[in-house]
């Protein structure tokens, strides 16, 4: 476990999955990242690569081959190496090896850099194609945030306010893939979605088409707790389906799971990215914690 800090925030991350484990206020000790719990969800903020979500029939096709890549990819449950750090910055890296190549036949290097600046955490991703062929991939963040006003009396546990041009959403269907239909966005006139027992009856709230550029996590009284910002084309709100839990995930994704019945090649997967040999790709998101 490694730690960086400034006068405002303290961040801890683990080399296993390069996963952010804790983000706390340096003065009050208040925790913003879900700490995990048996029977609910043990994750904190996994990194998803080289796919996000799931594959239809669990299969991905490329160059005449069929690849069976597990949901959310290969790197979230593997060791990364700390490749650099300062008092306020740390970078983890993972490279392809015999085990990843057996499932995803591309040489790569993925880095995540965590950087604290005031009350902002920057999470920067860099993907390098170290192989000889074009590499198609997706990448996503999956941070889970504590809801301090969680309750069991029917009142909202808080709200997420979406910014952008939010008009519609997708729903999860069979095999964890998206349904072809589009549905109205469940936001009020201010772009807010109440968080409570029924919010995730359909599993995830999925907003694609670059509709969202920023999301505020609000307390039950409407005050801002933190803001997530990203240029990712897809955003998800998620907590375990059918459960009432004291956290919610706000997930910027550079990619999306397959649509039901998808039978195309990997380059036709939704919001897929690609790099030529020797090229790099960059993405990421920021978390701004309210004073």
Mean pLDDT of 253-275: 97
pLDDT value of position 260 = 97
**CA nearest neighbour of 41 among 23, 19, 10:** 19
In this prediction, residue 38 carries a pLDDT of 82
What's the mean pLDDT in 196-214? 95
Model confidence at 26: pLDDT above 90: yes
The pLDDT of residue 39 is 84
The two structure tokens encoding residue 232: 């990712």
Q: What percent of the chain has pLDDT over 70?
A: 100
Q: Is the pLDDT of residue 258 over 90?
A: yes
Cis omega before residue 50 (within 30°)?
Answer: yes
As a whole number, mean pLDDT of residues 242-267 equals: 96
- pLDDT tens column, 172-184: 999 999 999 999 9
pLDDT tens readout for residues 96-154: 999 999 999 999 999 999 999 999 999 999 999 999 999 999 999 999 999 999 999 99
Alpha carbons 33 and 247: distance in angstroms, whole number:
9
Whole-angstrom Cα distance, residue 122 to residue 113? 8
Query: What pLDDT score does 132 carry?
Result: 97
- Can you name the residues that pair with 273 across neighbouring β-strands? 137
| Torsions phi, psi for 204 (to 5 deg) | -110, 150
- Torsion angle of C-alpha atoms 195, 32, 144, 283, degrees rounded to 10: 120
Predicted pLDDT of residue 242: 85
User: At CA 239, angle to CA 191 and CA 198, rounded to 5?
Assistant: 65
pLDDT of residue 230: 98
pLDDT at 229: 98
pLDDT at 170: 97
**Mean pLDDT on 206-217:** 98
Tens digit of pLDDT for each residue in 129-140?
999 999 999 999
Name 253's bridge partners: 140, 234
pTM, to two decimals: 0.97
Architecture of domain 2-289: Distorted Sandwich (2.70)
> Which candidate, 261, 270, 144, 251, places its Cα nearest to that of 206?
251
Query: What is the band of 50 on the pLDDT scale with cuts at 50, 70, 90?
Result: very high
Q: Is the dihedral of CA 133, 55, 47, 158 positive or negative?
A: positive
């Amino acid at each position: 476990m490694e730690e960086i800090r400034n006068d405002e925030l303290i961040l801890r991350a683990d080399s296993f999955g390069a996963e952010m484990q804790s983000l706390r206020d340096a003065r009050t000790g208040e925790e913003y990242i879900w700490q995990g719990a048996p029977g609910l969800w043990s994750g904190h903020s996994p990194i998803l690569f080289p796919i996000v979500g799931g594959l239809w029939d669990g299969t991905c096709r490329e160059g005449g081959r069929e690849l069976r890549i597990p949901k959310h990819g290969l790197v979230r449950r593997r060791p990364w190496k700390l490749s650099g750090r300062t008092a306020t910055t740390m970078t983890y890296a993972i490279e392809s090896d015999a085990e990843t190549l057996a499932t995803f036949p591309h040489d790569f290097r993925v880095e995540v850099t965590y950087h604290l600046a005031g009350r902002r955490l920057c999470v920067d991703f860099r993907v390098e194609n170290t192989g000889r062929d074009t590499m198609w991939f997706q990448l996503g963040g999956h941070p889970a945030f504590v809801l301090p006003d969680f309750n069991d009396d029917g009142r909202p546990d808080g709200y997420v306010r979406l910014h952008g041009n939010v008009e519609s959403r997708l729903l999860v269907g069979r095999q964890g893939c998206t349904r072809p239909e589009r549905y109205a966005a469940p936001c009020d006139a201010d772009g807010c979605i109440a968080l409570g027992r029924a919010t995730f009856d359909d599993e995830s709230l999925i907003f694609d088409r670059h509709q969202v550029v920023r999301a505020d996590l609000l307390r039950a009284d409407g005050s801002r707790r933190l803001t997530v910002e990203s240029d990712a084309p897809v955003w998800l709100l998620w907590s375990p389906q059918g459960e009432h839990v004291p956290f919610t995930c706000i997930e910027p994704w550079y990619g999306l799971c397959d649509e039901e019945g998808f039978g195309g090649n990997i380059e036709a997967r939704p919001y897929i990215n690609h790099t030529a040999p020797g090229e790099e790709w960059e993405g990421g998101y920021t978390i701004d914690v309210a004073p």
